Amino acid sequence: MKKQRLKAVALSTVLSAGALVGSVAQADQTLNSILQVGQAKTKAAQVSQQKIDKIADQTSSLLQEFKTVNKQIEGLRVYNTQLEKQIANQLEVIKQLENSIEQVTVMERQIQPLILRMLDGLEQFVALDVPFHLEERRERVEMLRNNQERADISVAEKFRQVLEAYKIESEYGRKIDTYKDTLNIGGQEREVNILRVGRVALMYQTTDTKLSGVWDKRQGGWAELDAAEYRSSILKGIRIAKKQASIDIMKLPILAPEAAQ
């Protein structure tokens, strides 16, 4: 009986041990499953975190780009505002230029006849003036007349040239100069030195200094002078004009002005 009980207890112990081993094995499997699920969740969480970090980086980058673009847009707004002001000013300038062009066109129509009248007056003045540098002065007037027909010269330039000619004529009246010329004296062509003192006196003296004369505007010709009286004075004037002598007082034949009519 005791043996049978021992066998039963032993069998029962073996069965309990087997059941325990089975329970432990089953628990190990369950634990492994739990661990695997935890690992999977951890990996999933890591992947999710990486995605979140990536999205955060992208969001930060997009935000930075947004801020940069916003600054550029603001800068463009300021620039466009400035351009609008400049364009408005340019349109105003264009309007003023158009008005000026219209006025210039009107002035040009008025200036051209004025230039022609000035040339007529200049030509008449040279013809009536004391006859010095006649060829040069006549050629200047002729050149100015020819320029009036040229299309490659602006009206402004034509007007400037005429004013320059008037200025040259004005300068003649304030200067003393001398030059060589050939005159008919006593029926013979003689080489002479011409002395001009402004428009006050125009004289000649032959190169041998024996004969001298003065332009008589009232008679419209040359009048012979007393060689003994004016020879040295005219010679001194010629030397002064050539800058070979210092400026000095000269005794010259000055004709009295005519009474105004």
**DSSP of 83-138, one letter per residue?**
HHHHHHHHHHHHHHHHHHHHHHHHHHHHHHHHHHHHHHHHHHHHHHS--SSHHHHH
Domain boundary among 172, 202, 229: 172
Provide the pLDDT for residue 260.
43
Q: Tokens standing for 144?
A: 């100015």
| Count of the separate structural domains present in the chain | 2
Q: Are residues 154 and 207 in the same domain?
A: no
**210 located within any domain:** yes
Share of the chain above pLDDT 90, in %: 29
- Distance between CA atoms of 101 and 258, rounded to whole angstroms? 49
Q: Are residues 85 and 121 in the same domain?
A: yes
Domain boundary among 138, 153, 172: 172
Provide the pLDDT for residue 47.
80
Give the domain range for residue 184: 175-256
Q: Are residues 98 and 187 in the same domain?
A: no
Q: Are residues 199 and 106 in the same domain?
A: no
Residues of the chain with pLDDT under 70: 1-28, 31, 97, 101-102, 104-106, 255-261
**162 located within any domain:** yes
**237 located within any domain:** yes
Q: Are residues 201 and 190 in the same domain?
A: yes
Which residue, 156, 148, 145, 157, is CA-closest to 120?
A: 145
Contact 116, 148 (CB under 8 A): yes
Q: Tokens 């003393």 correspond to what residue?
A: 176
Q: Are residues 165 and 203 in the same domain?
A: no
- Distance between CA atoms of 195 and 175, rounded to whole angstroms? 11
pTM of the model as a whole = 0.57
Q: Are residues 215 and 188 in the same domain?
A: yes
**11 located within any domain:** no
Residues 181-206, buried b or exposed e (16+ Cβ, 10 A)? eeeeeeeeebebbbbbbeeebbbbbb
Provide the pLDDT for residue 78.
82
Q: Are residues 158 and 91 in the same domain?
A: yes
Q: Are residues 117 and 95 in the same domain?
A: yes
Provide the pLDDT for residue 138.
95
Provide the pLDDT for residue 82.
82
**167 located within any domain:** yes
**28 located within any domain:** no
Q: Are residues 192 and 225 in the same domain?
A: yes
- Distance between CA atoms of 41 and 43, rounded to whole angstroms? 5
Q: Are residues 71 and 167 in the same domain?
A: yes
Q: Tokens standing for 170?
A: 């004005």
Provide the pLDDT for residue 196.
92
**216 located within any domain:** yes
Helix/strand/coil percent split, the chain, to 5: 65, 15, 20
**57 located within any domain:** no
Domain boundary among 143, 172, 201: 172
Q: Are residues 231 and 243 in the same domain?
A: yes
